[in-house]
Amino acid sequence: MRIAVAAALVLLPAAPASAQLDQFLRGLPGLSTPAGQGLTDGKIASGLKEALHVATGKAVDLTGIVDGYFKNQAIKILLPDQLRSLEPTLRTLGLGSQVDAFVLGMNRAAERAAPAAREIFGQAVTEMSFEDARKILGGGDTAATDYFKVKTTDRLTGAFRPVVERSLGEVGVVRQYKDLIGLAEAMPFLKAESVDVDRYVTGKALDGLFHVVGDEERAIRANPAARVTDLLREVFGR
């Protein structure tokens, strides 16, 4: 099998990645279409790629809007660990409004950064290798999400960080954080360590984005209502 796959890869013409994928999948053992189902392997491959576009596109749409992070309790960015244990005390001291403004600002920065993921996810689908496709097709409920984490995290970090830094600067989040840390340090009974806020928010923004992508992937695999195109209904309905 490995020899046959290697030979097929060598012999594939220099065609667009999607065409190569469809052609290759037709010859893979275990991925041929069972007789009578009426689905070609090319259509199955197209359905896979459409599913990836739909899942990532919806995830970006859900996160890249006002309150996309802030009002989604599953991905809302909370205080860094360095401050979370101090939150009750800070609120008792009358600093609740500063804490709330800091949390809101972090989430707003993530919401502004999220749309940058759309193009990067699209590139990852285009660059999908034959082995990637096989793993995703035969993988678990979040096989595609895991693929995107591996393939796009570095690029997403590079795209998100400048937007996060700019957004945090515009709403004064870094200043708010430094003020909170300064107040904590000025009180002998409180101890707080500084944190790179830009890095923290960027990382949490990506965690939240991948969480939503995973939700969308699971929905397409399991829920007929989430298959919003004829191709998805045909392929994943099987």
Number of domains composing the chain: 1
Average confidence (pLDDT) per 10 residues, the chain, 238 residues: 36 40 41 45 68 89 98 96 82 88 94 97 86 76 92 96 92 80 65 78 97 90 66 61
Say what the pLDDT of residue 7 is: 34
Question: Is 86 among the domain residues?
Answer: yes
Question: Is 2 among the domain residues?
Answer: no
What single letter denotes the amino acid at residue 130? F
Can you give the pTM of this predicted structure?
Answer: 0.76
Closest CA relative to residue 107, chosen from 216, 212, 213, 208: 208
Domain range spanning residue 50?
40-236
Question: Is 96 among the domain residues?
Answer: yes
Cα dist from 11 to 4, 7, 20, 31, 46, whole Å? 11, 6, 11, 20, 22
Task: Yes or no: say if 184 and 192 are a contact pair by the CB < 8 Å rule.
Answer: yes
Cα dist from 40 to 1, 34, 61, 71, whole Å? 22, 9, 31, 42
Question: Is 194 among the domain residues?
Answer: yes
H-helix segments, the chain? 2-11, 17-26, 41-63, 81-84, 87-92, 96-113, 117-126, 130-138, 143-171, 173-186, 197-222, 230-236
Question: Is 131 among the domain residues?
Answer: yes
What single letter denotes the amino acid at residue 215? D
Say what the pLDDT of residue 19 is: 45
Task: Yes or no: say if 171 and 70 are a contact pair by the CB < 8 Å rule.
Answer: no
Question: Is 115 among the domain residues?
Answer: yes
Q: Which pair of tokens denotes residue 218?
A: 């699971």
| pLDDT tens sequence across 7-28 | 333 333 333 444 444 444 444 3
Say what the pLDDT of residue 180 is: 77
